[in-house]
Chain A
Amino acid sequence: MKNRHGWFLVSALLLLLAGCGGLKAPPSPATPAAGTAPSAEQPVPPAGEQAPPAPQTPQAAAENSIGALGPRPVMSENKAVIALLDRASSDNGAGKQDAAEASLERALRIEPRNPWLWLELARVRLARGQYAQAITLARKSNSFAGGRHRVQAENWQLIGQARVAQGDAAGAEQAFKRAEELARQAGDEH
């Protein structure tokens, strides 16, 4: 499949680039179980001098900035929604994607404008390989984000991942850059 090959190439490229910072190649749902080994080469900074910051791939940068934000804020004030999110999460972990989607849709009936719910639904679609749907759902999540940079960052990261899987490397890069920028803004807010 064309997508698979394209991803493999990009993945290999990223592996090479992931060297200096000792970074893992970024995990992606389309990954064929490869590419998490860190590169062997690591330049040692001369004593007393700070090494210049290692160039990260946009995908890695996005992931790092979002990771640096720590755990998510409270996703909902409504306990019913939280209960359904928990259920969806455990179903998803157990590979029961239909059940996870059903729980997320139930939650969406209670809070139709909760961006986290749309993001989680987008994630399930991404895991299923429905990339176009994943992107649209992430956009829909963004439309409700209303200045909440954290969720916007995660949405753009997801869009990037979907585009990678679709073979749209340029679009993916744009998305990851946006994600990183938003994550930075979210970090500044704290």
Chain B
Amino acid sequence: MTSSQTPPQDPTPAAEPTPAETANPAEETSQGETGGSVPPPKKSRFGIRLPGKRVRVAFLLLLLGLSGYVYYLDATIREAFEGRKFALPARVYGRALEVYPGLKLTREQLVEELKSLGYHDNPQLQEPGTYRLTMTGIEFTSRDFVFGDGSQVSQHLRAEFADGKVSALQTRGASDADLALFRLEPPLIGGIYPGHNEDRELVRLAEVPKQLTDALIATEDRKFYTHWGVDPRGVARAFVRTVTGQRVEGGSTLTQQLVKNFFLTSERTLTRKANEVLMSGLLELHYSKDEILETYLNEVFLGQDAGRAIHGFGLASYYYFDRPLERLAPQEVALLVGLVKGPVVYDPRRHPKEALARRNVVLQEMASQNVLPQAAAAAAIALPLGVVERAPAGTSPYPAFLQYVHRQLQRDYREEDLRSEGLRIFTTLDPFVQHQAEDALKSRLAEIERARRFKANTLEGAVVVSSTQNGEIQAMVGGRDARFAGFNRALDSERPIGSLAKPIVYLTALEDPQHYTLVTPLDDSPLVYRQRGAADWKPQNYERTFHDKVQLRVALAHSYNVATARLGIDLGVDRILDKLPQYGIERKPPPYASSLLGAYGLAPVEVAQMYQTFADGGFRTPLRAIRDVVAADGKPLQRYPLNVEPVAAPGPVYVLTAAMQGVVREGTAQAMTNYLPAEMNVAGKTGTTEDLRDSWFAGFTGNRVAVVWVGRDDNKPSGLTGASGAMTVWGEMMKNLPTEPVQPAMPEDVELVTVDPVTGVRYDEGCKSGMVLPFIKGSAPAETVPCAAGFAAASAAPAASAVAAASSVAPVQTTAAKPAVKQAEGKKSWFQRLFN
């Protein structure tokens, strides 16, 4: 070693070491001591030049440096292992289905839900997570589950169905008992992953079947229990390979593999290998074989699922076989062990032949090492792979919703904690509603493009669906390709809302019942509005026509811009715009009159919040996506409770709802009858912006509020109105969902009055040529006029009750709607004939 050292460069001549100063006796030659001032350089026994003092100092420093480095490596390893901190991703669940007798649910729907939870059809029913169909019902065995508000043990259950509803629900056991309610586990819909999108399911060594650890050791590192971290022959082999120019690989013990996985990059250089050897030794020094093995079992990379890396045998077991480790058969164990060598190369779904071959090699290894009896191994070799088909989930099939959840969580949790603490997040997503929303958007956009001969994929859209009464977001679609985690239009696309802004104007008017009722005539003649700081504003109606006087309800139904603008200006532009924050709209629209007609952008989710308040009788419930957050150990961390704020008085909101029902019944959204029957009494508003760039529909049924936007990402005109674009998506989606009719409770200060639909005069109750409309008490015309029989015949008067309080309509399962568009058009032209 010393013969290759060069003496350090030194400006001043170094003093030659005197014999008394020579440090190491071993270096001394046996030539004996020489006296004198300049002794000749020492020579060792082998005639090699000994290093000078500088060189020895340098060597000492190097040794020091090396020990320091080793100490540093040691500290790194120990720190990582002491903490033993595996970053556990947050798990995000959708809503838990609650089953009870009387619930509108078919057997097929329950089977779908169970399948989405990973349940298997199995006549044995022993294992949790199995079900079987019976003559008229279903039996299933639920899994243990820890909810945000308590845990639930595995049970055997039975459900019967009749007329599209659950007719009976029982637990089965020593005796069968009727159950009032059963909450299924919620479906896992995604996760928030640590850096590198690693995912794992921690297992303790005691929980891992011995067969698996034996197979692993037999295949990868037979001397695991005896070596000190490195297998010397393996290292030698690797060294030889490097020197001879081959790649440095293989020969790694489990300890080395662990070190490689945990700490080092995947370079394959000699220095990396040296580090690996050092660190393996240090690891073995500090930790027991069992500890190292357990860590290995949880760390090893075993597969790639699109954006998500599968780490550890615990998760791999579910990922490939949808079962926990302890329930794997020998050939399944062998497959997982075989994957260690190359999870991508031996991916059983992509390369089944290679995977099978590799698995069988492992099985043979297991036999030869007596991990498995020979006969059993032979039998196992003959079996197929048995890997479950799995929908490629990536990190989530619902990226738009996950994104919203993530943002809401970021307000309360640090990013590192979200990604690594194993939090369990219970959300409000309803997969059934989500699928209907996705399908409706996708199919309608494709149909529209086809029908209008657009180039494919020019249109885009967004959908938000929430529950009327509690503000829970049931579905969120960010684009027509719902699986793609890209731009989330539901949250981030701020398009001018156009006519969707009108209901606020009308509500403001209706809050002054002495001056404005549904039949108050509005002026729809040309308007020029001069305002400071802006050009003169001359709003136009969609058809570029004007009308002299129109009833307030008609102006909203047909979305007349001019009448609305004039109304809003009379009421006060600022007064109306100042209301928006109460509806949850934080951004301030420009303070010009054009804002009355929605000349400002909002994201669909913000529009949904506004319409939620209309649907809920003037109560604002902030839209929620999260119900609870629970720690990994089951301890509840946070609830997101149901909070309500009173925003608008219920009376005027009730009257506004009637006007919005008019939009659908006889206004711009008449074509809704192509999707939903008239008895649903849907309330809503179409929105079309200038040059037909944005197509909106916002509306509600008795149980859901939904907003749809359709347009082009490049903001070019799509040629679609709210009715021809977004409304068709809305209708298609709602048609396939269990829908309740709009039947708000009538507030105390509201009364129903029969009036003439054209003139607004008041008739006696029950007059057939009148229409029943709600009025704030004291605002309806005071005088009554005799019932006009004459018009009755000609008119085919609109359906009696705008809001069917008298005839209580029971919640109806949506039936196929008969297209009634023609009839409606007839009414419209009659009306126009009379009034224009």
- A residues contacting B by CB (< 8 A) are 78-80, 82-84, 98-99, 101-103, 105-106, 108-110, 112-113, 121, 133, 136-137, 139-140, 143-146
Contact = CB atoms under 8 A, between A and B. Distances in A.
A121 B98 CA distance: 20
Contact of A144 (B148, B149, B745): B745
B186 to A, nearest CB: 13
B646 interface: yes
Contact of A78 (B102, B646, B703): B102
Contacts of A143: 617, 619, 650, 745, 747
Interface stretch (B601-609, B635-643, B678-686, B718-726): B635-643
User: Lowest 5 A-B CB distances belong to which pairs?
Assistant: A112-B469, A80-B100, A80-B181, A79-B180, A102-B149
A98 B149 contact: yes
B748 to A, nearest CB: 9
B645 interface: yes
B303 interface: no
A137 B643 CA distance: 8
Given A78-B100, A84-B181, A139-B646, A146 B745 contact: yes
Interface in B733-752: 745-747
B101 interface: yes
A146 B639 CA distance: 31
Nearest to A91: B149
Nearest to A79: B180
Contacts of B148: 102
A78 B643 CA distance: 24
B786 interface: no
Contacts of A105: 470, 627, 641-642
A110 B642 contact: no
A108 B469 contact: yes
B384 interface: no
Contact of B639 (A82, A98, A110): A98
A105 B642 CA distance: 8
A113 B149 contact: no
A101 B101 CA distance: 23
B470 A99 contact: no
A108 B98 contact: no
B180 A101 contact: no
A83 B181 contact: yes
B619 A79 contact: no
B644 A108 contact: no
B50 to A, nearest CB: 79
B11 interface: no
Given A98-B149, A143-B745, A144-B745, A133 B643 contact: yes
Given A99-B149, A102-B639, A108 B470 contact: yes
B639 A140 contact: no
A133 B643 CA distance: 7
Contacts of A103: 149
The secondary structure that dominates the A interface is helix
B150 interface: yes
Contacts of A101: 639, 641-642
Interface residues of B, number: 32
Given A79-B101, A110-B98, A140 B470 contact: no
Contact of A109 (B98, B150, B747): B98
A118 to B, nearest CB: 9
Nearest to A105: B642
B98 A106 contact: yes
8 contacts: A79-B181, A82-B180, A84-B181, A98-B636, A99-B149, A108-B469, A136-B644, A143-B617
B645 A113 contact: no
B646 A136 contact: yes
Contacts of A78: 100, 102
Nearest to B743: A113
Interface string B566-581: 0000000000000000
Contacts of A102: 148-149, 628, 639
Nearest to A124: B641
Nearest to B620: A136
A105 B96 CA distance: 13
B470 A112 contact: yes
Interface in B465-480: 467-470, 472
A110 B641 CA distance: 17
Given A84-B181, A109-B467, A143-B745, 8 more contacts: A80-B98, A80-B100, A101-B639, A102-B639, A108-B470, A108-B642, A109-B472, A136-B619
Contacts of B619: 136, 139-140, 143
Interface string B71-110: 0000000000000000000000000001011100000000
A98 to B, nearest CB: 6
A101 B148 CA distance: 12
A109 B624 CA distance: 14
Interface centre among A83, A101, A103, A113 (most CB of B within 10 A): A113
A144 B745 CA distance: 6
Nearest to A86: B180
B412 to A, nearest CB: 16
Contacts of A98: 149, 636, 639
Given A133-B643, A137-B644, A143-B650, A113 B470 contact: no
A7 B148 CA distance: 36
Contacts of A99: 149-150
B752 to A, nearest CB: 15
B332 to A, nearest CB: 39
Interface string B610-647: 00000001010000000110000000100101111110
A109 B470 contact: yes
A103 B98 CA distance: 12
A118 B619 CA distance: 13
A120 B36 CA distance: 107
Contacts of A109: 98, 467, 470, 472
Contacts of A144: 745
